[in-house]
């Protein structure tokens, strides 16, 4: 009587990683259905040594599905998520479509697993990757010192733009290496050997939608309606891991030893912090891995009760696919 699971957007960067996570974690499922656009229907993918043919997504795809993992963009989630829920599936949506809906829980299993149970619409939302990775580092510190505000700068991998982001960086680097011309396609400027201070669209207060996600999602996940967040999101020429530089202010006095101790026994996040031994987290350490890594922990030199820290995590895995599969494991 194991659940029947569907992946919507199965051939995308996150969809492929969802299939990998289900396989590697021996998720107890009776059947796996792979759904994608007409363009991808017919492709074959392998799960537990068995070949599965990708089917075209329709509103009738969910009759016998118990859990539907969505990662095909907000439009697809808005259009097909309710149909999947109406057919009796629990929808775990990686897009931003439902994250701020009061009737949809927004869940990081290590932080607010209990929220997943209250899902009147049959939909659970997966937070934005940058939010997940940042909160994996901040939740233990909140327990110790009482989180009050976040100032963050992110260094976001091109995988955040999906497979096309990885292709864009690869193609530009090859073109530059062979002295060939190229035109940026998905980014406003060249991303190879460059950084771009824009992720997602700008809004009328000068912040991008991506920067406001950390504020809005952080308040909801941490249940801290007064939490203050100011974020600058930057795209960097890294393939798969996001890094975040954080200044966090707390209600109570902080110290580095107590901060490091706060992570002990906390699953999904490890401290890597010994600069004298050149030990600090870098994207190459977390790519393809489950855990987020925290380092550069130090007392902030400007604000009282504040810590500076650096956290890195795989955007495709813990930032998206793994978190969604871990929510399914709660179910």
Cβ-based neighbours of 90, under 8 Å, separated by 6 or more: 66, 67, 68, 119, 122, 123, 124, 331
Burial state string for 197-219 with b = 16 or more CB within 10 A and e = fewer than 16: eebbeeeeeebbebbbbbbbbbb
CB of 10 to ligand 2RA, least distance (A): 17
CB of 259 to ligand 2RA, least distance (A): 26
Name the residue among 158, 12, 130, 20 with its Cα closest to residue 71: 12
Residue whose pair of structure tokens reads 């100032």 in the numeric block: 151
Return the bridge partners of 55, or none.
35
Cβ-based neighbours of 254, under 8 Å, separated by 6 or more: 141, 144, 145, 299, 305, 306, 307
With respect to ligand 2RA, which residue has the nearer C-beta, 148 or 317?
317
| Spatial contact of 7 and 33, defined as CB atoms under 8 Å apart | yes
The reply, when asked if residue 319 is annotated as ligand binding, is no
The reply, when asked if residue 282 is annotated as ligand binding, is no
Cβ-based neighbours of 105, under 8 Å, separated by 6 or more: 112, 115, 116, 117, 118, 119, 124, 125
The reply, when asked if residue 14 is annotated as ligand binding, is yes
CB of 228 to ligand 2RA, least distance (A): 21
With respect to ligand 2RA, which residue has the nearer C-beta, 121 or 209?
209
The reply, when asked if residue 241 is annotated as ligand binding, is no
With respect to ligand 2RA, which residue has the nearer C-beta, 128 or 287?
128
With respect to ligand 2RA, which residue has the nearer C-beta, 134 or 249?
134
Q: How far apart are CA 20 and CA 22, in angstroms?
A: 6
The reply, when asked if residue 11 is annotated as ligand binding, is yes
Q: Which residues bind ligand 2RA (CB under 6 A)?
A: 128-130, 156, 160-161, 199, 210
With respect to ligand 2RA, which residue has the nearer C-beta, 210 or 273?
210
Q: Is 142 a catalytic residue?
A: no
The reply, when asked if residue 228 is annotated as ligand binding, is no
Q: How many CB atoms lie within 10 A of CB 59?
A: 12
Q: Is 231 a catalytic residue?
A: no
The reply, when asked if residue 198 is annotated as ligand binding, is no
Catalytic residue, candidates 21, 129, 231, 233? 129
CB of 198 to ligand 2RA, least distance (A): 10
Q: Which H/E stretch holds residue 241? A: strand 241-250
CB of 106 to ligand 2RA, least distance (A): 14
| Spatial contact of 235 and 210, defined as CB atoms under 8 Å apart | no
Catalytic residue, candidates 21, 142, 242, 292? 242
Annotated binding-site residue numbers for NADP(+) = 11-14, 39-40, 159-160, 315
Question: Which residues are annotated as catalytic?
Answer: 129, 242
Annotated binding-site residue numbers for phosphate = 99
């Amino acid at each position: 009587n194991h659940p029947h699971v569907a992946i919507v957007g199965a051939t995308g960067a996150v969809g492929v990683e969802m299939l990998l996570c289900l396989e590697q974690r021996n998720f107890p499922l009776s059947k796996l259905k792979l759904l994608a656009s007409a363009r991808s229907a017919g492709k074959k993918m392998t799960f537990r040594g068995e070949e599965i043919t990708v089917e075209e997504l329709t509103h009738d795809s969910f009759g016998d599905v118990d859990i539907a993992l969505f990662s095909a963009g907000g439009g697809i989630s808005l259009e097909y998520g309710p149909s999947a829920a109406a057919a009796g599936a629990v929808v775990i949506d990686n897009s931003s479509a439902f994250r701020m809906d009061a009737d949809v829980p927004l869940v990081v299993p290590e932080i607010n697993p209990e929220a997943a149970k209250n899902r009147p619409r049959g939909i659970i939302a997966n937070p934005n990757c940058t939010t997940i990775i940042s909160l994996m580092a901040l939740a233990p510190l909140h327990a110790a010192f009482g989180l009050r505000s976040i100032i963050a700068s992110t260094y976001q991998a091109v995988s955040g733009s999906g497979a096309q982001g990885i292709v864009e960086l690869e193609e530009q680097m090859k073109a530059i290496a062979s002295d060939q011309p190229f035109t940026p396609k998905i980014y406003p400027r060249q991303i190879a050997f460059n950084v771009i201070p824009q992720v997602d669209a700008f809004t009328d207060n000068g912040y991008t939608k991506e920067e406001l996600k950390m504020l809005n999602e952080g308040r909801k996940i941490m249940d801290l309606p007064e939490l203050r967040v100011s974020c600058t999101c930057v795209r960097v020429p890294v393939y798969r891991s996001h890094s975040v530089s954080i200044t966090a202010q707390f209600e109570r006095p902080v110290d580095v030893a107590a901060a490091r101790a706060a992570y002990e026994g906390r699953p999904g996040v490890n401290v890597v912090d010994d600069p004298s031994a050149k030990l600090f987290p870098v994207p190459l350490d977390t790519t393809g891995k489950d855990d987020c890594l925290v380092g550069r922990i130090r007392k902030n030199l400007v604000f009282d009760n504040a810590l500076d820290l650096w956290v890195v995590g795989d955007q495709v895995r813990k930032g998206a696919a793994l978190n969604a599969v871990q929510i399914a494991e709660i179910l």
